[in-house]
Amino acid sequence: MVGGIGVSKIRQNIVLTKEILQALKGYAESMQKNVTFVVQNGEHSKREELVSFLSDIAGVSEKLSVEERDTNGELRSAISFLLEADGEDTGIRFSGIPGGHEFNSLVLAMLHAAGTELKLDDSVKSIVKAVSEPLNFEVFISLSCHNCPEVVQALNQFALLNPNITSEMIDGGLYQNLISERDIQGVPSVYLNGELFANGKVDASVLINKLLERDASLKDANKGESLPLQDVTVIGGGPAGVASAIYSARKGLKVAVVAETFGGQVKDTMGIENLISVPKTTGPELVGNLMEHVRDYDITLKEHVRVDNIEQGNVKTITLSSGEQIRTRSIIVATGARWRELGVPGEKENVGNGVAYCPHCDGPFFKGKDVAVIGGGNSGIEAALDLAGIVKSVTVFEFMPDLKADQVLINQAEKRDNITIIKNAATKQITALNGKVNAIEYQDRSTNEVHTRELAGVFVQIGLIPNSQFMKGTVDMTQYGEIIIDDKCLTSEPGIFAAGDVTTVPYKQIVISMGEGAKASLAAFEYLLSHEVIETEKESEKETEAA
Ligand SMILES: Cc1cc2nc3c(=O)[nH]c(=O)nc-3n(C[C@H](O)[C@H](O)[C@H](O)COP(=O)(O)OP(=O)(O)OC[C@H]3O[C@@H](n4cnc5c(N)ncnc54)[C@H](O)[C@@H]3O)c2cc1C
């Protein structure tokens, strides 16, 4: 993200204030290439606004310019423009005026096109560079969408890496005909060569994995690539993984971190008020701090790639989705978990605006309001009891005719005046007004009647899924997929430790994950001191082959 630019103030009516232009001027000083915004000729009511917006930006540096031209069908309409770097088409296109949350996408596209280093792992770059067929991406966005810029920015970088790739941001608000033609229900919605490719919350790792699903041979670009032997490899870049990596690096160990999405669940969190000593922060801010802290140490970070497999042994071999391998003397698994989703309309769209998964975290934001808890198991009833002390009322919706929670919890819930329990209820949809949840629609499964209940928040409590599938058969797990650890975070396999939400540790919280991560790394250090972890002949051969 381009820090410091107050894009939130820009919204749809773009006002490039003196402060914003000053900040842009500073960024533009590092530009190595000339960048031209090429605007398609033609008529459109918004065209003048677009040209004036781009001209204001171009005014900050001699290296920037605006040109109006007929691009012979390269661009969609008279409010579309592309970026050229030193006269070469970059493959980056914008259809609409990138204000709101997309302003950062435009600024980053401009700086990356001018030579600023791309923020992608080398193995990801190799995969993108290996694409040999034309890939034309269209990303439908809305300027108020928080999740859209990440997709636009990732695809713009792909376009810069490979002339076979183009990436076009399309403001759905200005292309209503396309939105209805393609029946687009939510943004971001990504099309590849005219076919739906991805939608919803998507980041660079998801896009890369989808490209690999389409063409597994792209992995060959990284064949034979391997890091030097690591003392500790941390899998996961959430609070537990980051704590593990920092503690390990501080012991002088050689550390690598593999993180599909750096920040983990924290990235999806709006407000955090229970990280002790930090009274108030946001997910993106905390992720920024975690990254800064990691960067303070000599830690190899492999981002946007996933661990697919672990080969056990004295020295362990980790295989990444990019095709690379890492040989390591110990492993800390900190791959976290994800909340099981309801999968009804209005859920994904309103996360952070009334739809929540964590009562400890988000309950206080609903003080004095009416909320629902979906799920009548132990976690649902515990959540209802927890919330009942803060909010005005809690309605628990249970799909089955009976609650699954322990009787002692049910008894406590029944004693509370502000908890109502509705059984045999199938949630149909969550509705919102002005961007905030305002009601839930549910069907009484005994009568099939559909009812609406007005409320401000919905807490989904239908389970947490540990991200542990790739460890099946390697370490012992519970029936729910949690990795079983002892009090020093050791798993059933010597040299493999685990920390945070992916484990059996009770209570899934940031501060707990950080503590567990620290503990796992100290235990790994102790293990490395007391075990001679040396390579067998066969393993050394592998190293020689890779080198
Ligand atoms: C919406 C929301 C709000 C929350 N609010 C709060 C709050 O206010 N306060 C609080 O204390 N807690 C909160 N939590 C809970 C908290 O975020 C988690 O407890 C914490 O993030 C767990 O940390 P972790 O490192 O164990 O796992 P995660 O944060 O889940 O991180 C897991 C990491 O592993 C990576 N990963 C997964 N699989 C692989 C793989 N195969 N290969 C490579 N990498 C992989 C992920 O990409 C990620 O980097 C919230 C959770 C959510 C979802």
List average pLDDT for each run of 10 residues in the chain, which is 547 residues long: 36 74 95 98 95 96 97 95 98 95 95 96 95 97 85 97 98 90 81 91 90 94 89 98 98 97 88 92 95 98 95 94 95 95 90 83 86 93 93 97 92 96 97 90 96 96 94 96 98 98 95 98 97 67 52
- Distance (Å, whole) CA 207 – CA 186: 18
- In the chain, the N- to C-terminal Cα span, in Å, equals 35
pLDDT of residue 207: 96
DSSP letter at 185 equals -
Q: What is the pLDDT of residue 223?
A: 86
Give Cα separations from 497 to 494, 514, 524 (angstroms).
Answer: 8, 14, 7
Closest ligand 1 atom to residue 305 Cα is 43
Ligand 1 interacting residues, C-beta cut-off 6 A: 235-241, 258-262, 264-266, 268-269, 272, 274, 306-307, 334-337, 339, 357-358, 361, 467, 470, 500-501, 508-511, 513
At residue 388, the 3 state secondary structure works out as helix
Q: Which of 361, 365, 459, 465 to mutate to test the pocket of ligand 1 (most atoms within 8 A of CB)?
A: 361
Q: For 277-334, give the DSSP string.
A: TB-SEEHHHHHHHHHHHHHTS-EEEEES--EEEEE-SSSEEEEETTS-EEEEEEEEE-
322: phi then psi, degrees, rounded to nearest 5: -80, -5
Which atom of ligand 1 is nearest the CA belonging to 273? Answer: 8
pTM comes to: 0.84
No. of H helices and E strands in the chain? 14, 27
CA separation for the pair 235, 483 (Å, rounded): 13
**How far, in Å, is the centroid of ligand 1 from the Cα of 276?**
17
pLDDT at 247: 98
Q: What is the pLDDT of residue 68?
A: 97
- Ramachandran assignment for 435, one of left (phi > 0), alpha (psi -120 to 50 degrees), beta (any other): left
pLDDT given at position 485? 98
Instruction: Give the pLDDT confidence score for residue 359 in this predicted structure.
Output: 85
Q: For residue 497, how far is its CA from the centre of ligand 1 (angstroms)? A: 17
Measured in Å, residue 482 CA sits from the centre of ligand 1 at 14
Q: Among the atoms of ligand 1, which is closest to the Cα of residue 307?
A: 42
Angle between the N-to-C axes of helices 18-28 and 47-58, in degrees from 0 to 180, rounded to the nearest 10: 60
